[in-house]
Structure 1
Amino acid sequence: MLKNQEEPKYGSEKWIDGFYDPTTRIQTMSQCMVLSDIYKDDDFKLVLADFGDFFSSNPAVVNNIGALDGRKNDKVKLKVFKGLAMINEVCINDIPSSIVTIAVDTLVPSIPALAISSSCYVYIYKNMKPYFRFTLPCSPLCPEEEKAWRDYQNEHIKLSELVVALDNIRGFGRLNEMTQKSVKFLQLSTNEERLNFIDQYKEVPLVKNTAITIMTSLMKNVHDDDGDGGAGGGIRCIVIGCEDGHVYVINPETFSVAATYSLPSVAVFMVANGLFDVEYSIYTACRNGGVYGIKRNIEKAREFFRVTYPIVGLVKVGKNLVVGCMDGTIHCYNTKGNCLWSVNCHGDILCVGLMELKTKNLQLLLVSVKSHQQQQSSSPLPPPPSSSSSLPPSTSGQIQIYLEKSLVDVIRVEEVVAAMKFGRYGRESDTLVMVTKSGGLMVKVLKRTALFDSRGVSKSGDGVGFDLAGGGESRIDIPKKTKLFLDQTARERVCAVEMHKTFQQDLCRLRLHSCKCYLDMLDKQLNVVSLSQEYPVKLNVEVTGLGPTFKMCISVQNTSLNVSCHHYFIAFVYDPGFYNILDNIIFLPAIGPSLSYRTSTFAYCVTDKTFADVIKVLLCTENNINPILTAVVSMPVSEGGMNF
């Protein structure tokens, strides 16, 4: 890490001040920040989208006062930081909504690619150069709107009737279903302007494009340990939430839509976990205050819960979902929709994030809070040990760190933090990168000796700490596996009789099921070795070939030592829609004691389907109407089907 440029006055003892540059003038949000090894040099960089003056949380820029010193930044740029220095930047055409890192190939080593969502496009950058642009599919048109324009073009209605028809659609609250062409047309006031507009855009088709509101990534078939979408992991699918309420899963290998889902509202925050080819879950927080879940092979999204105030952040901590709301509270729900706990942060929440310590197998919640000045003096939380006196009035921002519902640490900063990202930066594994409201860049590194206690006591490995909950001495933490073993042991002591009864019932059911299967096998002769002394034979079938022609080699062995086998023949049972066998019945000669006879025939695959069927080989005798032995042969899939 670089040396400190400006040492913050307030903080936490468990964090090392990496550096702080208040002059970077960065305007971004957490969804547009990633920490990734984009050059594959084992040095993780900070990649973010700087909105410039198009979108700013700085009051000086919003109010257009002279704080810019004549340096107006009116371009949206993609910037790459190494330490405190910006090493690369690329101009972007439009304001992005999200940035994620993905892998577009399976090469080793694979350089991660950046996926940037903007408007209805997803731009793929590799080595900070444009690689591909994906366009979202168009949304379905409103039938009434499409009919109105078609009737006007066919001169079935007049201009005034067209305006009335489109205005009726808008009047019924369906403005979001209309195309941009109709919206701009309704904004015109005179008929002359409307006619000029129609003449100008008469060749433009009626198309309804949507906009991307949020984007995240989902592992395709292999879990990624690094989390940067490069080598060491697997290919990541792109999950996109749109303004029209649709959720698309994009395959980065072919850049095609792999799955489509529909939501009752617009997704603003999204979390995805699992594997797309196996089992996955997508959790979305929408503008209506509801959190919905999407699972594999389930077309309709399920609502888990709904909050009263608008959601400002969604994080999955362990198996639970944590949301931050505009009323300054955070709520934790399980995947069944039950509220586990709620905590008041005593301030306005700007953003939330996940702090994952892989070396300690620990996940914590990061909450950026804009503290109310009147609540700082009356807060029950004591100041951090790094400051012996109370905070000055200028200090209004803090990062609260929660372990479950316990507040375990507070990082106090002089400015409000508008965006943050925790992860590996440079060669440090646990780094917190923050962008302040005025555009400053701040980096803090977690000490390797830092410990977090769930009972509200914050500790450090050097023995210095402070008690956020006002508690006294703390007990030694029991490891998770040991605690699980002790809980299971206590449960076995209490429920020993019930567990034994359940085990005996399951054992009896297993024995009964085994006997039924054995009896069914004897009745249907589904065995290859005869259990009767009257017919001492053994049947063996082998299949060779790649298809569409297969050779079936059949061996019949006489297991008796003094009795010969006479009048035996082999028959085949199969689906004629799949196979055609050259000899349906093969008569066998007499087989002496302890001898075997081999014969063969050919089976032809007569279908081009990509799956195979079974062929039953029956060993029969002229003196018995039931087969003696039956062999069920699972045929291999043919390399190519042919019709005969």
Structure 2
Amino acid sequence: MRMKMTGIRALNTPWLDAFTDAHAGIYTFSHCITMADINGDGDYKLIIADLGTGSSNIRLKVRDQSLETDVFYEFLQNLRQEIGFNNLTERSQQLLILDHSKRKEFVEEQKNLPPKKQTVITCVSTLKKSMTDEDAISCIVFGTESGEIYILESEAFVILQKVQLEGGEVHSPAPAHIACSGLYDVEFRIVCLCRDGTLRLLRRGWQQTRTLTELTAPAVGLLLMPDGSSSIIVALMDSALHCFSKKGRRQWKLQMEKNITAIGSVHLPQQGLCLVAVALSGGLIKLYSGQQLVDTIATPDTVAALRFGRFGQEENSLVLITVAGCLMVKILKRTANFVTQTTTDGFVPGQQVKVPIPKKTRLFVEQTMRERQCYKEIHQAFQHDLFRLHLTAARACVQALQSCSLPVSSKEPLKLTAQVLGLGPKFRLAITLQNMSKDVPLKGLFIVVHCDDKMYIVERPFIEVPMLVPSLTYKFDTIVECVSDLSISDEVRVFVVKQQQTEPLLSVVIEMPVCDMLAMTS
């Protein structure tokens, strides 16, 4: 396919216009486009299934040519009751719905053709078999017009699993869109959208699919987000974008201003983002991170199909095909940074969603009635408890100031910390002093270590402190030896006193650890 390079415009957009071919003449859908390393050289090629603009002649088939038309019609009616309408050939189904006057002519036209039941593939996807590597072997997963889902082994072309979708009495619903995640040998999920408007799920070990929900309009596209959130994104023909959980519960809904023509996932693992690209009629593409709009791309025509992935040597390429058959390739800048865009009223869409208010319980109603009736008593009790709390806090503060038991002095800008090191019977008492003043040095200070002399002996109970320079930390230590034979512990108090003052500046109480009796005996 011939492509021509266009000039890369330096606009305020994270996308670069790489290729454009206005005369490509391609007519396809998003699930008919992929990028793959065909030659194994790391150069990814663009693969497109072109649907064209012509029409195909569908050949219809009947089962037998020797029977009379009316007898054969009755035979097909009985066979329909036994095996179902969907299990008949296309010619047999066509004969059953024709008028009586046209049956004989139809049989004469089709009687020489051999009886054969054919079906067509309606949707296709891939599923990793045993490893999640990019070049690992994948299985082919496709749905058929007869309402079946096949999982095909890609090397030997062996059918690994076949599942028939459950439907009504007439026929099984045909899957129109399909998406896969996980590993076939470990655990996988296959989500399909059927033409009857049902969203169905198939997992490993299941013999039948389970219906998650029923949609209100025909679907445009289906995405299974690869970011681990297990979210299912569905675009409908009523211009709505829905997000469902893995159990089929709708999480949010976005109403677009125009009809949705195509959707695709924009997975950016380097940025930890997984965006949803929504193409609208008129040539506008919106990129959403959840419910938040992060970027907008304008194209000259309505986009009919899009695919994001690796193309050539570029990791992040966006392939667009318009309804007129124009092919465009855009490359994401390596410096691209997606930021949430606000709406006209200044709020992002996620902030406009109303928070669900829980229902009022009986207990809540009774409590509300009680507060209305006894509002005076409740206010008085609250004020009484508040005053008691203020009084208790004030008493504790005064007591701490009077006893100088705070680590920070209220008289001098001084801070004291103490730490006990060792297992015993000899402990090292590490003391730290810091002058919190900006420019005033402190002098004439002493450290006094006080304890019960029946429990401990302090090597240096009185330590003279040199002049403390502001913003510097001074460390002192002394040895405290346990002399008691009992396996108990006691408190050791450390005071900081100043010369010619009767009250200490500050003090700390140290809870000594229990001495190791094994070390004392040794």
TM-score strictly above 0.5: yes
Matches within 5 A, 1:459-474: 467-468=342-343, 471=346
SS of residue paired to 2:201: strand
User: 1:331 is matched with which residue: 213, 219, 242?
Assistant: 242
SS of residue paired to 1:420: strand
Q: Contact 2:188–2:204 (CA<8 Å) still a contact in 1? A: yes
The 3 A distance-change label for structure 1 pair 190 and 307 is closer
What letter corresponds to residue 339 of structure 1 in structure 2?
Answer: R
What does residue 193 of structure 2 align with? Answer: 285
Quote how far apart the aligned CAs of 1:282 are. 0.6
The 3 A distance-change label for structure 1 pair 169 and 407 is farther
TM-score by length of 1: 0.47
Q: Contact 2:309–2:316 (CA<8 Å) still a contact in 1? A: yes
User: 2:254 is matched with which residue: 343, 348, 362?
Assistant: 343
For structure 1, the residue ranges without an aligned partner over 5 or more in a row are: 56-93, 96-118, 120-140, 226-232, 371-395, 458-466, 474-644
Q: Contact 1:6–1:19 (CA<8 Å) still a contact in 2? A: no
What letter corresponds to residue 413 of structure 1 in structure 2?
Answer: T
Distance 1:192 1:346 in 2: 50
1:434 aligns with 2:347: no
What letter corresponds to residue 348 of structure 1 in structure 2?
Answer: N
What does residue 309 of structure 1 align with? Answer: 217
TM-score by length of 2: 0.58
User: 1:210 is matched with which residue: 119, 128, 153?
Assistant: 119
What does residue 247 of structure 1 align with? Answer: 149
Distance 2:9 2:92 in 1: 53
What letter corresponds to residue 163 of structure 1 in structure 2?
Answer: Y
The 3 A distance-change label for structure 1 pair 27 and 173 is farther
Quote how far apart the aligned CAs of 1:189 are. 2.7
Distance 2:298 2:265 in 1: 18
What does residue 257 of structure 1 align with? Answer: 159
Q: Contact 1:357–1:363 (CA<8 Å) still a contact in 2? A: yes
What does residue 423 of structure 1 align with? Answer: 309
Count of residue pairs brought into register by the alignment: 333
1:224 aligns with 2:133: yes
What does residue 375 of structure 2 align with? Answer: none
Q: Contact 1:6–1:21 (CA<8 Å) still a contact in 2? A: no
Quote how far apart the aligned CAs of 1:6 are. 6.8
Quote how far apart the aligned CAs of 1:425 are. 1.1
Q: Contact 1:330–1:344 (CA<8 Å) still a contact in 2? A: yes
Quote how far apart the aligned CAs of 1:344 are. 0.9
Quote how far apart the aligned CAs of 1:244 are. 1.4
Q: Contact 1:6–1:20 (CA<8 Å) still a contact in 2? A: no
What does residue 298 of structure 2 align with? Answer: 412
The 3 A distance-change label for structure 1 pair 291 and 3 is same
1:300 aligns with 2:186: no
Deviations 1:219-242 (A, max 9, x none): 1111123xxxxxxx3211111111
Distance 1:451 1:349 in 2: 25
What letter corresponds to residue 267 of structure 2 in structure 1?
Answer: E
Matches within 5 A, 1:19-34: 19-34=19-34
Q: Contact 1:29–1:418 (CA<8 Å) still a contact in 2? A: yes
Quote how far apart the aligned CAs of 1:175 are. 5.2
Distance 1:356 1:18 in 2: 20
For structure 2, the residue ranges without an aligned partner over 5 or more in a row are: 167-172, 349-522
What does residue 159 of structure 1 align with? Answer: 69
The 3 A distance-change label for structure 1 pair 336 and 192 is closer
Distance 1:43 1:469 in 2: 43
| 4+ runs deviating over 6 angstroms | 6-9, 167-174
Distance 1:470 1:196 in 2: 66
What does residue 446 of structure 1 align with? Answer: 332
Deviations 1:41-62 (A, max 9, x none): 222111112233227xxxxxxx
Quote how far apart the aligned CAs of 1:283 are. 0.7
Bigger CA radius of gyration: 2
Deviations 1:182-211 (A, max 9, x none): 24656683746634643x23xx24x42222
SS of residue paired to 1:272: strand
SS of residue paired to 1:51: coil
